[in-house]
Amino acid sequence: MPRATGTKRAILDATLELAATKGITGTTMDEVAERAGVAKGSLYYNFASKDRLFEELLQEGVGALADTLREARAGLHGRAALEALIRALLDRIASNTALAKLMAAEIFRTDRTWQKTLFALRHEALTVFAEAIAEAKPGSRDDGTCGLMASSVFGAVLLSGLEWLVFDPERHRDEVAAAILDSFSGGLLGD
């Protein structure tokens, strides 16, 4: 999905800012229009509903994340691929903390109209991790275990990344990545 520009971009950016601080439920279309500096009619011209607005916001953000992860893994295998994926995800969290907060808040919500879209995009991102885990852990079972492990690594990085940025921002990203990798030693990586 190409990145939105112009009025649409202003609306999406304003929505993300508001949702990161107020949550989706607490964010109104009036506030989005005001923050974006657009008329309410323009807001509804671009997005027919609040649900459609948030669906596109998450689709764009999580889709870009999946692309970033695929690029980070390109040509790498096993532990090197996992290290690159963890660093890339931490970099995305640092560069777009508002989206990371929104993802952390919404990932387990099942009552949203965009849940299927978010699930599909989440699956796309987790598949990149699962493939690297399967290579890093030879003989791993193909019974969904790698997918579950991918989910735990992704979740650990997402929450550790937010923890890092909120409570320990002076720490270098590589230290955070190393700590995450070390936490999986013996199990995931078999060190």
| Shared domain check, 66 and 28 | no
Confidence (pTM): 0.82
Q: Any idea which residue has 């509804």 for tokens?
A: 44
58-97 pLDDT tens trace? 888 888 888 999 999 999 988 899 999 999 999 999 998 8
Q: Phi and psi dihedrals of 5, rounded to 5?
A: -130, 170
What pLDDT is recorded for position 37? 95
Residue 15 lies in a domain: yes
Residue 65 lies in a domain: yes
Q: Which domain holds residue 4?
A: 1-47
CA dihedral (164, 166, 167, 170) positive or negative? positive
| Shared domain check, 43 and 61 | no
- Higher pLDDT residue, 63 or 143? 63
| Shared domain check, 78 and 43 | no
pLDDT bracket for residue 191 (50, 70, 90): very low
Mean of pLDDT over the chain: 86
What pLDDT is recorded for position 110? 72
Residue 105 lies in a domain: yes
pLDDT bracket for residue 190 (50, 70, 90): low
| Shared domain check, 158 and 65 | yes
The tally of domains found in the chain comes to: 2
Residue 162 lies in a domain: yes
Read off the CATH number of the domain in which 30 is found: 1.10.10.60
Mean pLDDT of the 2-8 span = 73
Read off the CATH number of the domain in which 66 is found: 1.10.357.10
| Shared domain check, 163 and 119 | yes
pLDDT bracket for residue 102 (50, 70, 90): confident
CA dihedral defined by 103, 157, 120, 77, rounded to 10 degrees?
160
pLDDT bracket for residue 103 (50, 70, 90): confident
- Higher pLDDT residue, 142 or 31? 31
| Shared domain check, 140 and 102 | yes
Q: Are 4 and 87 in contact (CB under 8 A)?
A: no
What pLDDT is recorded for position 139? 66
| Shared domain check, 64 and 24 | no
165-177 pLDDT tens trace? 889 999 999 999 9
| Shared domain check, 141 and 78 | yes
